[in-house]
Amino acid sequence: MSSFAPETRNAEWFAAWIREHGRAVRGYLLGMVRRADLADDLTQEVFTRAWAARGRYREEGHGRAYLLKIADRLLCDERRQRAGDLTLEDADWRRCEPVSADGEPGSGISARETAAELTQALKQLPPAQRRVLLLRYYGQMTFAEIAKMTESPLGTVLSHCRRGLEALRRLLVDHLP
Amino acid sequence: MNDELPNLERRLEQATAPLCPEEALNDPQLAAWREGWLALEQLLESIEPPADWRPVQRVLPANISRAPRGASVVSALIAASLLVGLTVFGLYHTENSLSETGLGRHPIVQQHTPQNIPEETDLRWDDNWDEKLSALSTRLALVQGDGDVWTADYLNLRSRANALQQELENNAL
């Protein structure tokens, strides 16, 4: 992304930010809250806050990490307000399942089954493991950066990642041919 | 354990990197992590928003909501202006009606219009107020009596005029 000095951070700069990071922020939020409508609302709130704080942001090439940090803080606030009631109904997840790309009936069923199994796996992942995996995927951050952002020890972050990956793999091996 | 941490970090970084070196997959544990990571990638790609998803339209709610809020303020001002206008018109119309009926000009009516009646703050039997009501009734009766007198005089004059006209027609004068 081209750099902008604070005094030139205008709507154009912000639109570029949204184009570059909007989907990643929304994806992270959707993976965490597992509700599309809530994820959209929270994404809007993340960018609203980023716009309000644009004067304080220091351009260091970590725009996505900065936005994901806002999103993470927002999630913590939201979780506190809703007393942890941030879950996705099964019907919502089914709407997120992929459809067959090649149109073959067999592959379509297979894709849906795969998605259903993975969906179950993600649902079973504790939020802390999901958080680390999603930050790694969407933020493209190192584990040291994730540890710094979440204010967690590096060993804890690595442990969450390892257990999360093992849970996903275990589910695949157990349920898929 | 602390000595193992950098090694674990490096292996997990490789397992979850966009591209994993082939030789790294010789490590069975790393290969297992990689399978789990690729499964996660597959799911997350499948829940991507549609191509026409535009977060720009959903951001900056202040700009979006400014127009409706301004419209509601203007609507409220127009409604308030209409209310004031109707009230003034109603008061003006009522005053004209009183003037047309003559009530508005009568001194007794003017004296006892609601704004001239002293406000009572306490509900109790008031002999003074009762006396005022009696006086008002008396004065109203007098006005009505005056009207009756005027009516009698008018009828008397009209009767005499008719008699004169009859005499003129009969050439009696």
Domain annotation covers residue A31: yes
Contact A172, B39 (CB under 8 A): yes
Chain-chain contact of B33 with A166 (C-beta, under 8 angstroms): yes
Q: How far apart are CA A119 and CA A130, in angstroms?
A: 12
Across A118-127, B8-17, B94-103, least confident range: B94-103
Domain annotation covers residue B31: yes
Q: How far apart are CA A3 and CA A20, in angstroms?
A: 13
ipTM above 0.90, yes or no: no
User: Domain of A81: which CATH number?
Assistant: 1.10.1740
- Tens of pLDDT, residue by residue over A2-33, are 455 555 667 788 888 888 899 999 989 988 88
Domain annotation covers residue A95: no
Residues of B in contact with A15 (CB under 8 A): 56
A141 and A81 within one domain: no
Q: Which residue type occupies B151? A: T
The stretch A70-79 carries a mean pLDDT of 88
**CB of A168 less than 8 A from some CB of B:** yes
Phi, psi of A123, deg, nearest 5: -65, -35
Domain that residue B92 falls in: 76-114
B133 and B109 within one domain: no
A158 and A127 within one domain: yes
Domain annotation covers residue A36: yes
Q: Which of residues A94 and A42 earns the better pLDDT score?
A: A42
Contact A26, B38 (CB under 8 A): no
A127 and A149 within one domain: yes
Domain that residue A52 falls in: 1-87
Is pLDDT above 70 for B71? Answer: no
The first and second tokens of residue A66, run together, are 């900065």
A109 and A58 within one domain: no
A contact test, residue of B5, B9, B35 with most A CBs within 10 A: B9
Residues of A in contact with B56 (CB under 8 A): 15, 18-19, 22
Domain annotation covers residue B4: no
Q: How far apart are CA B20 and CA B13, in angstroms?
A: 9
Listed residues A39, A57, A87: the one ending a domain: A87
Residues of B in contact with A22 (CB under 8 A): 55-56
Domain annotation covers residue B141: yes
Per-residue confidence (pLDDT) for residue B14, from 0 to 100:
94
Per-residue confidence (pLDDT) for residue A123, from 0 to 100:
78
Domain annotation covers residue B134: yes
A82 and A59 within one domain: yes
Among candidate residues A97, A67, A177, A65, the one with its CA nearest the CA of residue B42:
A97
Domain annotation covers residue B44: yes
Per-residue confidence (pLDDT) for residue A135, from 0 to 100:
95
The first and second tokens of residue A17, run together, are 């930010």
A54 and A11 within one domain: yes
Mean pLDDT over each residue of chain B, to the nearest integer: 71
A69 and A116 within one domain: no
Domain annotation covers residue B173: yes
A172: nearest CB among B15, B39, B44: B39
| Number of inter-chain CB pairs under 8 A, A vs B | 108
Per-residue confidence (pLDDT) for residue A148, from 0 to 100:
92
A134 and A58 within one domain: no
Q: How many CA atoms lie within 13 A of A31 on its CB side?
A: 35
The stretch B115-125 carries a mean pLDDT of 52
Per-residue confidence (pLDDT) for residue B152, from 0 to 100:
65
Q: Which residue type occupies A51? A: W
B contact test, residue of A32, A163, A165 with most B CBs within 10 A: A165
Across A33-47, A138-152, B112-126, least confident range: B112-126
Long-range contacts of B122-131 (CB under 8 A, 24+ apart): none
Phi, psi of B74, deg, nearest 5: -65, -40
Chain-chain contact of B5 with A119 (C-beta, under 8 angstroms): no
Give the gap in angstroms from C-alpha A173 to the nearest C-alpha of chain B. Answer: 10
- Tens of pLDDT, residue by residue over B85-105, are 888 877 776 666 655 555 554
User: Which of A127-136, B34-43, B159-168 is predicted most confidently?
Assistant: A127-136
DSSP state of B92: H
Other Cβ atoms within 10 Å of B79 Cβ, number: 10
Q: Which of residues A145 and A174 earns the better pLDDT score?
A: A145
Domain annotation covers residue A93: no
Per-residue confidence (pLDDT) for residue B126, from 0 to 100:
58
Domain annotation covers residue B3: no
In degrees, rounded to 5, the angle at the alpha carbon of residue A58 between the alpha carbons of residues A52 and A63 is 80
Count: domains in chain A: 2
Across A9-13, A44-48, A138-142, B95-99, least confident range: B95-99
Count: domains in chain B: 3
